[in-house]
Amino acid sequence: MEKNKDSKTKVEKPKDITAQKKVEEALKRSEERYKLAQRAANIGSWDWDILTGDLHWSETIEPMFGFNKGKFGATYDAFLGSVHSDDRQFVQDSVDACVKDGKEYAIEHRIVWPDGTVRWVSETGDVIRDENGKAIRMLGIVRDITLNKLTEERIRYLNSLLFSIKEIGQIIGRESELSSLMQKSCDKLIETRDYMDIAIAVLDDNSGKIVPLAHSGKHQQSTWEIGPDGEGEAPECIKAVLKSQSNQRMRSNEGYCATCGYYEQEEEHQTILIPMKYQDSIVGVLTMCSKSEYEIDEEEIHLLEELAEELSFAWAKIKTEEALLMSEEIYRTTFNTSPDLFYRVSPEGKILECNDMAIKTLGYSRDELIGMPLLSIYAEESKAYARECFDEWAKTGKLRNKEMKIMTKDGKKIDIELSVNTIYDSKGNVISSISSQRIC
């Protein structure tokens, strides 16, 4: 009997070892799956020994904080050293509130990699206490949320920029003095995001040069002047805009910045320069300089292009208004030398005034055109669209490049592009529109 018992024991022992190995292998696979899941979700876990200060990381945390394996000090102080200086006190206070008062630890904050890259992380954690309620360990999870933050920032910037552009549109409708309008536009834009400097240069009638007119920001306004063709003395980035008639981008290591005067040795920044065009001619340059860690993207540039177009039309509107205030002879000369058909139209749609090109093109006398509804000069197939455009102008105060046909007195049809702006009195009431018909 004893022999059988011993024999039985010897047979069962290998089974116990096999079972233990299976458990160990299952545990190992579970740990590997957990590590894989952490890498896939871009999260990491940590375990902080509050009594010793030691901090144990999962393998995903070091690269998340910008360190190579084994290069991140495994202490609470090392962690705080990676937290952005502006967020460090907030993080410390949040940890203390969790440890001392049991408050929830669920925060978002910035970290700074060794190479200076700024990232965002989200952290959640909880405290383990001994039988006396003393905090002895804190466990938590950290997740990289930089992409989410970038998206949130872009949405916030774009919404803010769009709102500012709408406000500038209202300023354009009320303001009749050019330098005041451009300065108010710069001041409004500087509130939008982390722009360091905003500047607007426009064509000066007296010199025929494009010169800086308005500036808002932390640096002194640059001074220069250059012809609209790009010939003259000005920063190279301005020359590039004028010669190419297209947007230009530059960074702080690409030479002198026309917006803020920065050089390569100054802090990193980015600049976008956008031409201001009116009827295919450059009448100014809009420039903005940003210290943002986020790139000025295509959506933002598109909104700024729309703003540049509004400012260009405002420039033309104010120049027209200035002409209207001049003597009749000077005004007539300015009004009638345009190659486009120009009309001043009442809010009800009747022609109050027209230039010589309109009379010559349409074949009517001035007396016949004055008082005539502007809609009556459009070809039959364009009348409905012309009515829609008039209604749009009545709501918005402006139109841009609307294609349609007009008809001369003798029945000839002519393709034109219509642009309209509004003249307001000092109280913001509509006096008339200025309609420009450009023959295609």
pLDDT tens-digit series, residues 157-209: 788 888 888 888 888 878 888 889 999 999 988 887 678 889 999 998 778 89
Whether the predicted pLDDT of 415 surpasses 90: yes
Of 242-251, 284-293, 347-356, the range with the highest mean pLDDT is 347-356
pLDDT at 412: 95
Q: Which two tokens stand for residue 193?
A: 């995001």
Going by the DSSP 8-state scheme, the letter that residue 347 receives in this structure is T
pLDDT at 263: 56
| Residue type (1 letter), 10 | K
pLDDT at 337: 72
Judged by DSSP in three states, 127 sits in strand
Q: Give all domains of the chain, ordered by start, each with its CATH number.
A: 25-144 (3.30.450.20), 149-323 (3.30.450.40), 326-439 (3.30.450.20)
The predicted model scores a pTM of 0.51
User: Listing from the earlier edge strand, what are the strands of the sheet with 430-439?
Assistant: 351-354, 341-345, 430-439, 413-424, 399-407
Nearest by Cα to 393 from 440, 345, 351, 439:
345
Whether the predicted pLDDT of 16 surpasses 80: no
Helices 146-174 & 298-325 angle (0-180, nearest 10): 10
Strands (E), 13-132: 43-49, 55-57, 105-112, 118-129
How far apart are alpha carbons 319 and 311 in whole angstroms?
A: 12
Nearest by Cα to 294 from 256, 275, 264, 268:
268
Segment among 248-262, 286-300, 354-368, 386-400 with least mean pLDDT: 248-262
Cβ–Cβ under 8 Å, residues 224 and 234: yes
Q: Which two tokens stand for residue 19?
A: 């079972």
| Residue type (1 letter), 367 | D
Q: Each residue of 145-170: b (16+ CB within 10 Å) or e?
A: bbeebeeebeeebbeebbebbeebbe
Instruction: Give the contacts of 70 (CB within 8 A, at least 6 positions apart).
Output: 62
Judged by DSSP in three states, 285 sits in strand
Judged by DSSP in three states, 401 sits in strand
Q: Each residue of 336-356: b (16+ CB within 10 Å) or e?
A: eebebbbbbbeeebbbebbbe
Sign of CA dihedral 57, 62, 67, 70: positive
pLDDT at 296: 75
Average pLDDT over residues 343-350: 91
Cβ–Cβ under 8 Å, residues 287 and 228: no
Whether the predicted pLDDT of 38 surpasses 50: no
Greater pLDDT, 397 or 337: 397
Whether the predicted pLDDT of 315 surpasses 60: yes
The model's confidence at residue 418, banded by pLDDT at 50, 70 and 90, is very high
The model's confidence at residue 7, banded by pLDDT at 50, 70 and 90, is very low
Sign of CA dihedral 312, 314, 317, 319: negative
Whether the predicted pLDDT of 420 surpasses 60: yes
Greater pLDDT, 213 or 15: 213
Residues in the chain: 440
Whether the predicted pLDDT of 400 surpasses 60: yes
Greater pLDDT, 2 or 69: 69
Which own/partner contact pairs does 259-266 have at CB distance under 8 Å and 24+ positions apart?
A: 259/196, 259/197, 259/198, 259/199, 259/217, 259/222, 259/287, 259/288, 259/289, 260/196, 260/197, 260/199, 260/217, 260/218, 260/219, 260/222, 260/289, 261/219, 261/220, 261/222, 262/219, 262/289
